[in-house]
Amino acid sequence: MDLMFRNIGLFTVITTLLVLIKKRYDWIYLQQEGSYEDNTVYKAADLFANGAPPGEVRAILATSFEFDPKGTEQILARALPRRMEPDGGHRAFIQAVNEVLGDEIYRS
C-alpha cells in the first residue's frame, strides 16, 4: 500500500514538473515569436499602394491597436515620398510601419 502512494506521489511530481517545463518553453516561444500582426496594416498598405488619399489610409491605421495619431503621421510622412515607386510604395509603407514600431513585425 505504501508503495502505491509513493508511486502516485512520484508520478504527480514528475507530471507537475513536465507541465511547468512545457509552460516555460511555450512562454519563451511566444516571446521569440514577436508581436501580433494586425491585418489592418496590410489593408492600409494595399490602399496606399493603390493610390488612396492619405486621409483614408490614416483612418484605417487609426483603427489599429498599435498606433497612436503621432505614429500614424510618422508612417505617412516616411512612406509618402516613395509612393511613386513601381510597387506604389507598398514596401516603403511596410518599412515605415516597422520603423515606427521599432521592430521587424510586418513583411512586404
Model confidence over 22-78: pLDDT tens digits?
999 888 887 766 556 778 899 999 999 998 999 999 999 988 888 888 999 999 999
Residues 4 and 23 in one domain: yes
Q: Same structural domain for residues 76 and 48? A: yes
Residue 13 to residues 3, 6, 72, Cα–Cα distance (Å): 15, 11, 51
Task: Say if 106 falls within a structural domain.
Answer: no
Q: Which domain holds residue 8?
A: 1-33
Q: Is residue 28 part of a domain?
A: yes
Q: How many domains are there within the chain?
A: 2
pLDDT for 49: 92
Question: Is 8 part of a structural domain of the chain?
Answer: yes
Q: What is the pTM of this model?
A: 0.66
Give residue 102's region: left, alpha or beta (phi > 0; psi -120 to 50).
left
Q: Verify that 29 and 52 share a domain, yes or no.
A: no
Say how far apart CA 108 and CA 72 lie, in whole Å.
Answer: 18
Q: How far is residue 52's CA from residue 84's CA, in Å, rounded to a whole number? A: 13
